[in-house]
Amino acid sequence: MTDKDTAVSDDTGIVDKVAVVTGGAGGIGTAIAWALARRGAAVAVVDTDEGRLAELTGKLVAEGLTAQGFTADVTDARQVALAVDRIEAELGPIDLLVNAAGVLRMGSATDLSEVDWQTTFSVNLNGVFHSARAVVPRMKQRRRGSIVTVASNAARVPRVHMAAYGASKAAAASYTKTLGLELAEYGIRCNVVSPGSTDTDMLRLLWSGENDRQATIDGSAATYKTGIPLRRIADPGDIAEAVVFLASDSARHITMQDLCVDGGAVLGV
């Protein structure tokens, strides 16, 4: 299904729910926003990029879907708290939280700059913490809710020059599972989706030539990286569909799970 396939479907119990998507103006975040909105959710798109935020929400609204943009930096707890206050005041009680904000800083495990290390953890880990801390007390009062964190298959296996990224995503996944354990008694589910190589601007920044797409599929023996058994790079929509499933009532008895969506690249690890 493409961004323009906007027929609302109620097969997952998402219609009329309020969904927050952090990093919603990014490649995967945008696909998640579309997927939730198409299923009838009122989507609060949170991002720092005001231009892309306005463009995305404008397109969603133009298609008859319910969406609103909120500018906030997930590394700033106060900005996140204020955004959540606004979302609940303007859209209603938050039912779904999707932590999709993320950054990638490449560098060896010892040569990566301190700024890049701190930035990676500030967005990929602290952003999840700040968002959960702002949303969870409200969900607990209502005794309902679903949280999905977008991590990475790099959290499961070592990747050359991705020490900070992998470590931050592993920490975010672990945090989300612990959150799920603590919130289970309130009927709140917390799950993780771990994408592999996905056709986004983030991935394309790693490419320098026309053969890089195929090289990603084939893998690299020199860097101990397996290829992709399904022989394709994921579309953002592939990740979005997994997120929607875990966020929805279709997964009502699933919590503390990590669904890897990578075409088999980590061989099921």
List 165, 175, 186, 224, catalytic entry: 165
CA–CA dist 30, 53 (Å, integer) = 9
Our answer to whether residue 165 is catalytic in this structure is yes
67, β-bridge pairs: 43
- From the list 260, 27, 28, 229, the residue with the least C-alpha distance to 157 is 260
Residues designated as active site:
165
